[in-house]
């Protein structure tokens, strides 16, 4: 489904963020990418979202070379991916309903679909009672659950969670991991980046370990080992 | 449309500052419209006061004078020619000097009309009087059918310096007004553009999230352009509402100062034009500023 083929990224100041990275992810897998800060996890996510281009190598989604997509095709491609960030990135001037609805509007969904799906997806993340609240009125855990709801509402092929528990306490961290596992159980591929050992160990699935821009370990049922 | 409207309401303070910046820009445009109207009215009045008088030899045949009037009227630079007969000239003279008995006594001692007929020539532009004067300096143009001298005096030469200076002044005022208009409008538009840019800069995270969920450029740009249009509409309406009491209070003052130009009367008489220009400029500046400002954040 996703294939990184000898991908390297060297920034203009000669900083090597990725060096010869190759791996594949199959449909419906749950893959954790772990490593210290600066290991290259976020750069790898940017390559996958076509936010940045590799200096060398290719990133394929099925048979499509992501870096050869046009502007319009990149928009279509991104609608197949749901993204969850450490800092939530909710729109502060939109309420919970609108934050999720705009992702559906962007994907060209109808008003009827939006009215039906937003409450449904909020129920999945156990947040239906906060539907009209603004992000400023929510706790960190609640914000992250809204972000997950936004990421899954368009039924994407992949959900990328980039350090989703970085700003959360242990209880909220546990709940977010459980929601991501539920999303994966429902058939969506999940790609999780984290440096939280507890999170990785509790998932108990494939772990790719990165260090200084390289993959140093790829365990099918791994633990966090560094 | 809905997102654009909510963008305006929920950004309260920032929206207000953008709208007031646009009000300043639109006020500059309105002031320039008034300035241009005042300039053209004043110049038209001044131009109208400039003329060229052709005085005829006493006893000239009216038919010869009217023939010359007809010839002058065929010149492209001539706007109008007014014929004043010798009798009319005497009536005008008496009217002008009715309070001065010495003139009346002098006239009574003469048993004939000492004043000749005249033609008052008005050109299209002050600079064209020289051409008319040159035409009249050619002998064949100022002699009667029987070959006798018809024209006694042309007063153009006496007024030439004043006319030339006025023509230059009018030209300079028009050029300076045009340049000032362009510069002021550019400065105002740049200030408005920067304010709108600031509003959109504050939303750059919002734009980046929209891009990451696969929103098209149109979807991202749309609400900002609608918000820009709302800013322009609100600023335009505020400008027009403010213009009413301001022009009303300045009406009498301007009427006395600018040779009969009443600011308020002009505003009311040309309201449709003001409405179109102010609201149109507001909408255009709002939409274009938003379009250009968002473009920068659509590149990722």
pLDDT digits (tens, 9 = 90+) for B91-100: 888 887 777 7
Minimum mean pLDDT range among A104-118, B101-115, B227-241: B101-115
Predicted local distance difference test score (pLDDT) of residue A30? 94
Q: B5, B12, B204, B209: best mutation site toward chain A, by most A Cβ within 10 Å?
A: B209
Sheet (strand A30-34) strand order: A81-85, A158-162, A189-194, A30-34, A206-211, A214-219
Rounded mean pLDDT, B92-117:
78
Across the interface, whether the CB atoms of B216 and A78 are under 8 A apart is answered no
Higher pLDDT, A43 or B138: A43
Q: Supply φ then ψ for residue A123, to 5 degrees.
A: -65, -40
CA gyration radius for chain A? 17
pLDDT digits (tens, 9 = 90+) for B1-11: 665 566 556 56
Judging contacts by C-beta atoms under 8 Å, the chain A residues touching residue B216 are: 72, 75, 106
Q: Cα–Cα distance between B220 and A122 in angstroms, integer? A: 24
Nearest CA in chain B to A53: B300
Predicted local distance difference test score (pLDDT) of residue B250? 83
Q: B212, B218, B227: best mutation site toward chain A, by most A Cβ within 10 Å?
A: B212
Mean pLDDT taken over chain B? 79
Predicted local distance difference test score (pLDDT) of residue B3? 59
Predicted local distance difference test score (pLDDT) of residue B167? 65
Identify the three-state secondary structure at position B94: helix
Across the interface, whether the CB atoms of B214 and A89 are under 8 A apart is answered no
pLDDT digits (tens, 9 = 90+) for B178-189: 787 788 778 877
Report residue B157's pLDDT band, with 50, 70 and 90 as the boundaries. low
Q: Report yes or no: A198 and A83 within 8 Å, Cβ to Cβ.
A: no
**CB of A69 within 8 Å of any CB in chain B?**
no
Predicted local distance difference test score (pLDDT) of residue B11? 64
ipTM: 0.72
Q: Report yes or no: B64 and B54 within 8 Å, Cβ to Cβ.
A: no
Predicted local distance difference test score (pLDDT) of residue B2? 61
Predicted local distance difference test score (pLDDT) of residue B97? 78
Interface of B with A (CB under 8 A): 3, 6-7, 10-11, 205-206, 208-217, 219, 300
Predicted local distance difference test score (pLDDT) of residue B130? 78
**CB of A87 within 8 Å of any CB in chain B?**
no
Q: Report yes or no: B206 and B297 within 8 Å, Cβ to Cβ.
A: no
**CB of A174 within 8 Å of any CB in chain B?**
no
Q: Cα–Cα distance between B177 and B39 in angstroms, integer? A: 9
Report residue A8's pLDDT band, with 50, 70 and 90 as the boundaries. very high
* Tokens, residue B41: 């009215």
Across the interface, whether the CB atoms of B213 and A89 are under 8 A apart is answered no
Distances B42 to B31, B47, B170, B173, B253 between C-alpha atoms, Å: 16, 8, 10, 11, 15
First to last CA, chain A: 28
Domain boundaries, chain B: 2-46+166-298, 58-149
Across the interface, whether the CB atoms of B214 and A71 are under 8 A apart is answered no
Is B270's pLDDT higher than 60?
yes
Predicted local distance difference test score (pLDDT) of residue B103? 75
Largest CA distance in chain B: 104
Mean pLDDT taken over chain A? 90
Tell me, yes or no, if the pTM score tops 0.80: no
The CATH code of the domain at B58-149 is 3.30.70.3040
Long-range contacts, A9-17 (Cβ 8 Å, 24+): A9/A40, A9/A43, A9/A47, A9/A52, A9/A54, A9/A55, A9/A213, A10/A55, A16/A212, A16/A213, A17/A43, A17/A213
State the DSSP code for B112: S
How many angstroms separate the CA of residue A226 from the nearest CA in chain B? 31
Residue found under tokens 């352009």:
B225
Is B39's pLDDT higher than 80?
no
Report residue B158's pLDDT band, with 50, 70 and 90 as the boundaries. low
Rounded mean pLDDT, A187-215:
90
């Amino acid at each position: 489904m996703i294939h990184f083929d000898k991908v390297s990224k060297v920034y203009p100041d000669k900083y090597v963020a990725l060096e010869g990275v190759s791996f594949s992810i199959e449909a419906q897998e749950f893959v954790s990418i772990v490593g210290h800060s600066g290991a290259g996890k976020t750069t790898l996510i940017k390559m996958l979202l076509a936010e940045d281009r590799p200096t060398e190598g290719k990133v394929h989604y099925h048979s499509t070379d992501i870096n050869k997509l046009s502007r319009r095709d990149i928009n279509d491609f991104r609608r197949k991916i749901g993204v969850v960030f450490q800092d939530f990135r909710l729109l502060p001037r939109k309420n919970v309903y609108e934050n999720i609805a705009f992702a559906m509007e962007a994907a060209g969904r109808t008003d009827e679909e939006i009215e039906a799906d937003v409450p449904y997806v909020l129920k999945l993340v156990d947040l239906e009672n906060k539907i009209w609240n603004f992000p400023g009125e929510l706790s960190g855990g609640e914000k992250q659950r809204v972000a997950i709801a936004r990421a899954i509402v368009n039924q994407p092929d992949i959900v990328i969670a980039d350090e989703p528990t970085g700003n959360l306490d242990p209880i909220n961290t546990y709940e977010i991991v459980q929601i991501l596992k539920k999303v994966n159980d429902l058939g969506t591929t999940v790609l999780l980046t984290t440096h939280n050992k507890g999170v990785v160990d509790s998932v108990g699935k494939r772990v790719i370990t990165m260090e200084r821009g390289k993959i140093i370990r790829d365990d099918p049922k791994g633990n966090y080992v560094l | 449309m809905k997102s654009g409207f909510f963008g305006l309401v929920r950004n309260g303070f920032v929206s207000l500052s953008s709208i007031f910046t646009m009000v300043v820009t639109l006020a500059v445009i309105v002031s320039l419209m008034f300035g241009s109207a005042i300039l053209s009215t004043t110049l038209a009045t001044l131009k109208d006061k400039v003329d060229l008088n052709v005085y005829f030899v006493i006893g000239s045949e009216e038919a010869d004078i009217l023939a010359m009037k007809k010839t002058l009227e065929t010149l492209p630079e001539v706007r109008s020619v007014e014929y004043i007969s010798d009798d009319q000239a005497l009536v005008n003279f008496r009217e002008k000097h009715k309070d001065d008995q010495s003139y009346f006594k002098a006239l009574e001692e003469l048993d004939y009309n000492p004043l000749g007929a005249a033609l008052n020539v008005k050109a299209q532009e002050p600079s064209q009087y020289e051409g008319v004067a040159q035409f009249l300096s050619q002998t064949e143009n100022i002699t009667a059918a029987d070959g006798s001298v018809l024209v006694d005096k042309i007063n153009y030469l006496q007024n030439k310096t004043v006319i030339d200076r006025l023509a230059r002044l009018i030209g300079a005022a028009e050029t300076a007004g045009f340049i000032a208009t362009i510069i002021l409008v550019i400065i105002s538009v740049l200030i408005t553009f920067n304010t709108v840019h600031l509003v959109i800069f504050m939303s750059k995270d919002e734009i980046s999230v929209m891009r990451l969920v696969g929103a098209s450029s149109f979807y991202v740009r749309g609400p900002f352009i609608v918000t820009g249009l709302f800013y322009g509409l609100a600023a335009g309406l505020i400008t027009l509402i403010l213009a009413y009491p301001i022009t009303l209070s300045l009406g009498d003052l301007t009427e006395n100062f600018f040779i009969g130009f009443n600011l308020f009367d002009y505003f009311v008489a040309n309201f449709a034009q003001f409405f179109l220009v102010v609201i149109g400029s507001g909408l255009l500046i709002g939409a274009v500023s938003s379009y250009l400002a968002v473009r920068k954040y659509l590149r990722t």
